[in-house]
Amino acid sequence: MSRKYLTQAWCVLLVTGISLSCMAQKTIPSYHQEIESLMSKMSVEDKIGQLIQENGDQGHDGSIKAGQVGSVLNVVNPQAIHRMQQLAVDSSELGIPLIFARDVIHGFKTIFPIPLGMAASFNPDLVQQSAAIAAEEAASVGVRWTFSPMVDVSRDPRWGRVAETFGEDPYLHARMGTAMVRGYQGEKLSDKTSIAACAKHFAAYGAAIGGRDYNTVELPENVLRDVYLPPFKACVDAGIASFMPSFNEINGVPSSGSAFLLDQVLQKEWGFNGVVVSDWESVIQLQTHGFTDSEKESAYQSFMAGTHMEMNSKAYANKLRELINEGRISMEKLDDAVRRILRMKFELGLFDDPYTHTADFPPMLNDHNKALAKAVATESIVLLKNEKNILPLTGFKGKIAVVGPLADSPHDQLGTWIFDGDKADAITPLTSLRDLFGSKNVNYAAGMAFSRSLDKDLFPEAIEAAKNSDVILVFIGEESILSGESHCRADLGLPGIQEEFIRQLAETGKPMVAVVMAGRPLTFESVFDTFDAVLYTWHLGTMAGPAIADIVSGKVSPSGKLPITFPRHVGQVPIYYSYKNSGKPASDATWERLYEIPPEAPQLSIGNTNHYLDYGFEPWFPFGFGLSYSTFEYSDINIQDPEVSMGDSIVISAHLKNTGSVKATEVVQLYVRDLVGSRTRPVRELKGFQRITLEAGERKKVVFRIHTSELGFHNLDMEYVTEPGAFKAWIGGSSGADLGIDFSVN
Ligand code: BGC
């Protein structure tokens, strides 16, 4: 069939197809007729070709012309994309367009905070807008598919990819992940500014033993279903176009070959009708795992489990034909995979117009995009400490020492996974602080060339700058390369000789504010007392400088909250707010302090509780924590009906008052505990949050409505149930909130 004929046929049928494409998944699959008509023209080789994803723009021309490529990743040059697309559309027999994919993780050219930072904003609306901007910028060069959002719950800051997550909580992950899906995919995929999203890495990638990337995961099914899967399910419900299995094995089965995950849960239970693309060579890695003994068996296991497209490696290209000939893989199974991929291409409008008209798009990094990036960055900043209200430096007239390895490090502030971001576009804190306070009032000296430096040669210059100033802003933390894929750390402390640098600065006796940039929670309790204030700023992206300047100057009051628990010491990991009580819960009264135990104390088994002798039982900072330049008071917690009927909604409220002297925003959080369960339940689970902005002195009632079905869990029979009985809810400004109320579900 000639390409011209196909184009005409699609144009006619597209009229119906467009409206169908707007519909949510689980309705009648869209483009049915167009797909079937095309499929009837495809040979087995053509079909297998659609399952192949190649990398880069070199060396694939022949296979594209032969119809042996369905997708290409990592090409972002619009001319190269156009050239390859032209080969597919004009020179292949069937003219099926390619889909170009890229890891657009927290922005394309305009870089937003790392996802862990964005999670701290607790602002899904802004996160959605950031994804829409990322989509528009990526689509403007021809990229129509991103491998994002990553919705891997992780409770291990050692894991480098924690930077790419939304932290430790399933509910926060679901809210942020679905916001990104909506942002990327827009109103409908066929809009030129929309790109297909991909939920990754399915599943439990963040639960790698020891926080070491790609490592084994051992997880009971109920924990998998209660903690790690819900954000993925939420993405399916939000209409996500694709999924990516994780590199890790779970309980002995690598995800790319897991029929349980990909077939049972994703397809059968959740009714996902989109595309599953493998992770980078994860199909052939089934053999490395020791799950298969050959490339052929890897292709078989992965395809049969439900991985439709293979990224980069060649097991499908090399072996699927043979497996089909042998009858081990049915045509029905092959057709199902091909249909999904074609449907995604139809829904993206690629058959309608496979080319990108870059000139039709607004320029990248435009003022709107940068303003949004600044807004997200500002809301992502968490104030951990502010003694004697040293911050903000509103109207500050003295001299400011700006020191530290990250004050002027445009590359590092962008964070991990910024393939297309450019440090030349990044505005650093030094630049913004000079703009704000005047260059003559800023004494800058890095003091350390980079965060891991072991060289003290630059110390004296920074100490001198500090001595000549009235306040020190010290920019410490981690370079971007210390987090991200396979960049895990066993030590969560400040790298290099930063602690020594801080101590020497402290000796000047000047007030000192730490601005910490990092891809994970860091532990620096031993120098914490040297700071009067601490701002935790993650890697904030292109607009880190202006955002930090707005917070430092008090133009905006900090409103970020920690999306992950901060341990005091790495040995406490995993430590998270929604732990189980145990039969011997620790308290301050029962904590036996290491150095208080007398020598040769006899062992007792009475009165013991579950703490560490040296680090107790509490984290450094709890999940949900974050200060403001104002103060907030919570009161009058109330429940509409303390005896809720199963199937009804629960309406819980509290009053929030801004008791400080400046306008500020508070993230009001709702936590619930199911007090008794046929399986024990966590001591608290986040069930809602709202960002509330109040003028000084203003008071507002904040109302949450949740359904009893949101209080369920997987019981011993692996059924999702909400059990009747006693519950408790808390409303407050962190997971440590103490304003609670009892209720029951009957
Ligand atoms: C990562 C994925 C990413 C893929 C393609 C893999 O190494 O695990 O998250 O999407 O590479 O770049």
CA 462 to ligand 1 centroid distance, Å? 40
470 to each of 390, 465, 466, 512, 549, how far by Cα in Å?
12, 10, 8, 9, 17
The span from the CA of 31 to the CA of 21, in Å, is 8
- The half-sphere exposure of 478 on its side-chain side, counting CA atoms within 13 A, is 28
- For ligand 1, pick from 205, 485, 486, 488 the residue to mutate: most ligand atoms within 8 Å of CB: 485
CA 535 to ligand 1 centroid distance, Å? 31
pLDDT of residue 24 exceeding 90: no
For 186, other C-beta atoms within 10 Å of its C-beta total 18
For 598, other C-beta atoms within 10 Å of its C-beta total 6
Q: Does residue 254 lie in a domain region?
A: no
CA 247 to ligand 1 centroid distance, Å? 9
Tokens at 314, concatenated: 């060649």
Query: How confident is the model over 222-275, as pLDDT tens digits?
Result: 999 999 999 999 999 999 999 999 999 999 999 999 999 999 999 999 999 999
Residue 101: phi, psi to the nearest 5? -120, 155
521 and 391 both lie in a single domain: yes
The span from the CA of 509 to the CA of 568, in Å, is 26
**Mean pLDDT for the stretch of residues 104-132:** 98
Q: Does residue 361 lie in a domain region?
A: no
Alpha helix segments (H runs only) across 428-510: 429-437, 459-467, 498-506
Query: How confident is the model over 663-677, as pLDDT tens digits?
Result: 999 999 999 999 999
Consecutive H or E run containing 551: helix 544-553
Closest residue by CA, ligand 1 atom 11: 280
The span from the CA of 146 to the CA of 143, in Å, is 8
The span from the CA of 434 to the CA of 635, in Å, is 42
**Mean pLDDT for the stretch of residues 572-596:** 97
pLDDT at residue 25, rounded to an integer: 43
Residue 164 Cα: closest atom of ligand 1? 9
Residue 200 Cα: closest atom of ligand 1? 9
Closest residue by CA, ligand 1 atom 12: 103
> Which residues are catalytically annotated?
279
490 and 391 both lie in a single domain: yes
pLDDT at residue 517, rounded to an integer: 98
Dmax over CA atoms of the chain, in Å, equals 90
Decide which of 532, 553, 574 is a domain's last residue: 553
Q: Given pLDDT bands bounded at 50, 70 and 90, which one contains residue 30?
A: confident
CA 446 to ligand 1 centroid distance, Å? 34
524 and 651 both lie in a single domain: no
Residue 629 · residue 392 · CB < 8 Å: yes
Residue 334: phi, psi to the nearest 5? -65, -45
The span from the CA of 426 to the CA of 540, in Å, is 10
- For ligand 1, pick from 100, 145, 147 the residue to mutate: most ligand atoms within 8 Å of CB: 147
pLDDT of residue 26 exceeding 70: no
Residue 147 Cα: closest atom of ligand 1? 10
CA 50 to ligand 1 centroid distance, Å? 20
Decide which of 553, 576, 595 is a domain's last residue: 553
Decide which of 499, 526, 553 is a domain's last residue: 553
Tokens at 436, concatenated: 């704000």
Query: How confident is the model over 355-366, as pLDDT tens digits?
Result: 999 999 999 999
Closest residue by CA, ligand 1 atom 4: 280
- For ligand 1, pick from 53, 103, 256 the residue to mutate: most ligand atoms within 8 Å of CB: 103
CA 700 to ligand 1 centroid distance, Å? 45
**Mean pLDDT for the stretch of residues 718-733:** 98
Closest residue by CA, ligand 1 atom 5: 280
Where does residue 470 rank: exposed (0-12), middle (13-18), buried (19+ CB within 10 A)? middle
Q: Given pLDDT bands bounded at 50, 70 and 90, which one contains residue 49?
A: very high
| Nearest in space to 338 (alpha carbons), one of 91, 38, 64, 9 | 38
pLDDT at residue 4, rounded to an integer: 32
Closest residue by CA, ligand 1 atom 10: 147
pLDDT of residue 27 exceeding 90: no
Q: Does residue 501 lie in a domain region?
A: yes
Bridge partners (DSSP) listed for residue 513: 473, 533
Q: Does residue 123 lie in a domain region?
A: no
Residue 75 · residue 81 · CB < 8 Å: yes
528 and 381 both lie in a single domain: yes
Residue 198 Cα: closest atom of ligand 1? 10
- For ligand 1, pick from 74, 198, 279 the residue to mutate: most ligand atoms within 8 Å of CB: 279
CA 280 to ligand 1 centroid distance, Å? 6
The span from the CA of 683 to the CA of 681, in Å, is 7
529 and 405 both lie in a single domain: yes
Q: Does residue 404 lie in a domain region?
A: yes
The span from the CA of 338 to the CA of 50, in Å, is 6
| Nearest in space to 561 (alpha carbons), one of 515, 627, 620, 513 | 627
Residue 664 · residue 559 · CB < 8 Å: yes
CA dihedral 473, 106, 379, 705 (to 10 degrees): -150
Instruction: Quote the DSSP letter at residue 523.
Output: B
542 and 659 both lie in a single domain: no
The span from the CA of 361 to the CA of 257, in Å, is 40
640 and 497 both lie in a single domain: no
Query: How confident is the model over 317-351, as pLDDT tens digits?
Result: 999 999 999 999 999 999 999 999 999 999 999 99
CA 387 to ligand 1 centroid distance, Å? 42
387 and 530 both lie in a single domain: yes
Residue 631: phi, psi to the nearest 5? -130, 155
- For ligand 1, pick from 244, 276, 280, 487 the residue to mutate: most ligand atoms within 8 Å of CB: 280
Amino acid letter, residue 41: K
210 to each of 248, 490, 691, 704, how far by Cα in Å?
13, 8, 34, 37
pLDDT of residue 6 exceeding 70: no
Cα distance from N-terminal residue to C-terminal residue, the chain:
64
The span from the CA of 554 to the CA of 393, in Å, is 7
Residue recorded with tokens 């003219």: 95
pLDDT at residue 28, rounded to an integer: 52
Report residues whose beta carbon is within 6 angstroms of any ligand 1 atom. 103, 147, 200, 279-280, 485
The span from the CA of 41 to the CA of 199, in Å, is 31
pLDDT at residue 179, rounded to an integer: 98
Residue 302 · residue 286 · CB < 8 Å: yes
pLDDT of residue 423 exceeding 80: yes
The span from the CA of 669 to the CA of 689, in Å, is 4
Residue 247 Cα: closest atom of ligand 1? 8
Closest residue by CA, ligand 1 atom 8: 279
441 and 533 both lie in a single domain: yes
CA 418 to ligand 1 centroid distance, Å? 12
Residue 523 · residue 567 · CB < 8 Å: yes
pLDDT at residue 29, rounded to an integer: 60
Q: State the CATH number of the domain containing residue 496.
A: 3.40.50.1700
Residue 383 · residue 628 · CB < 8 Å: yes
Amino acid letter, residue 6: L
Residue 246 Cα: closest atom of ligand 1? 8
CA 279 to ligand 1 centroid distance, Å? 6
Please list, in sequence order, all residues whose beta carbon lies within 8 angstroms of the beta carbon of residue 721, skipping any fewer than 6 positions away: 712, 713, 714, 715
510 and 656 both lie in a single domain: no
CA 346 to ligand 1 centroid distance, Å? 25
Q: Does residue 285 lie in a domain region?
A: no
Query: How confident is the model over 166-220, as pLDDT tens digits?
Result: 999 999 999 999 999 999 999 999 999 999 999 999 999 999 999 999 999 999 9
Closest residue by CA, ligand 1 atom 2: 279
**How many domains does the chain contain in total?**
2
Q: Does residue 54 lie in a domain region?
A: no
Q: What is the mean pLDDT of the chain?
A: 95
Q: Given pLDDT bands bounded at 50, 70 and 90, which one contains residue 69?
A: very high
524 and 653 both lie in a single domain: no
Q: Does residue 340 lie in a domain region?
A: no
537 and 664 both lie in a single domain: no
Query: How confident is the model over 141-166, as pLDDT tens digits?
Result: 999 999 999 999 999 999 999 999 99
Q: State the CATH number of the domain containing residue 707.
A: 2.60.40.10
Domain carrying residue 371 = 367-553
Please list, in sequence order, all residues whose beta carbon lies within 8 angstroms of the beta carbon of residue 536, skipping any fewer than 6 positions away: 120, 381, 382, 383, 384, 516, 518, 560, 562
Give me the percent of the chain exceeding a pLDDT of 90: 96
pLDDT of residue 19 exceeding 70: no
Give me the percent of the chain exceeding a pLDDT of 70: 96
Closest residue by CA, ligand 1 atom 6: 280
Cis status of the peptide bond prior to 220, with omega within 30 of 0? no
